[in-house]
Structure 1
Amino acid sequence: MEIQNSINKDIEEIFRLYKIATDFQKSKYIVHWPEFELNLVQTEISENRQWKIVIDNKIACVWATAFSDPQIWEERNNDSAVYIHRIASNPEFRGQNLVQHIAEWSKQYAFNNGKKFVRMDTVGENPGLINYYIKCGFTFLGLSKLKNTDTLPAHYYDATVSLFQIEL
């Protein structure tokens, strides 16, 4: 298992994993991911903020990072944090605790970048997902009603989010 930055040739696979995740969300929940813009992923790749776990030369999981997330984290955005977004797993690798690996990696990544927190959010209140993220080492901070979502992806409009963090 190796964690690497995603590259442009990964874009097709990244969007395939997003579609799988979105289809799963549609089958289980009311809120699901919208279709993400290609330029969003291209920008993340060019800025070394799009990541992948590679197992046996296959992409097992992808996610993105940011060092600022003001519309979701509001005044807490002033804290020194790394934010994790859009974790999508390849179904071939489910059950391998990939989010746990991301959580462990993100602590070192945050430390290396002088950050004090690793943060993540999910739309809505999903008790199963909340418990899973707690098991992966995150603290559940509660629910937050978003106020300013005009430049966020569509699934955040008029949303309540579950907030998580790991404090280093």
Structure 2
Amino acid sequence: MKISNCLISDVNDILSLYEAARALQIERQMVVWPYFEEGFLKKEIKENKQWKITNEETIVCNWAIAFEDKEIWGERDRNDSIYIHRICTNPNLRGNRSIDNIVSWSREYARQNGKRFVRLDTLGNNTKLIEHYTSAGFNFLGMVKLINTETLPAHYQKEPNCCLFELDVFKD
């Protein structure tokens, strides 16, 4: 397994992973991600915000990062965190706990970038994801109602209830 930045040549694979994630979200009656444009993904890749776990040439898992997230985290966003978004696992490789690899990587990545926390969110009262993220070491901080969602992707505008998770990179 290898963790690295995504390449422009990965865009079609990422779009396929997103489509598989949307299908799973629909099947499980969860909040469904919108379609993300190819240009949006290419911009994130050029900005080194798209990451992947690969096994040989296969993308096992993909996610995006940000260094600020004021619309979701409000006053808690104090330039002390990395934010993980859109974790997406290859449907043929689900159940392999890619989240554990992401946590190990993100702890080190946050430290290298002078950050104290790794944060992520999920929409709605998704008890399985709450359990999944807490089992990987994240603290569940509770659910907040998002207010200013106009600049966020469409799924945040459909479901204002947002679960917040945080991992202090200096605590085990």
Q: Aligned with 2:72: secondary structure?
A: helix
- Alpha-carbon separation, structure 2, partners of 1:160 and 1:122: 9
- Structure 2-normalised TM-score? 0.95
Q: CA deviation at 1:79?
A: 4.6
Q: Percent of counterpart pairs with the same letter?
A: 46
Amino acid at match of 1:50: Q
Equivalence for 1:49: 49
- Alpha-carbon separation, structure 2, partners of 1:8 and 1:38: 10
Q: Aligned with 2:122: secondary structure?
A: strand
Equivalence for 2:86: 86
Whether 1:167 and 2:164 are equivalent positions in the alignment is: no
Q: Comparing 64-73 with 93-102, which one deviates more in the overlay?
A: 93-102
Amino acid at match of 1:167: D
Whether 1:71 and 2:71 are equivalent positions in the alignment is: yes
Amino acid at match of 2:132: Y
Amino acid at match of 2:36: F
Equivalence for 2:10: 10
Equivalence for 1:111: 111
Cα-to-partner distance string for 1:27-58 (whole Å, 9 max, x where unaligned): 11242101112222111100111000001321
Gaps of 5+ in 1: none
- Alpha-carbon separation, structure 2, partners of 1:91 and 1:50: 19
CA RMSD of aligned residues (A): 1.0
Equivalence for 1:154: 154
**Structure 1 stretches of at least 4 aligned residues deviating more than 6 Å after TM superposition:** none
- Alpha-carbon separation, structure 1, partners of 2:110 and 2:155: 27
Gaps of 5+ in 2: none
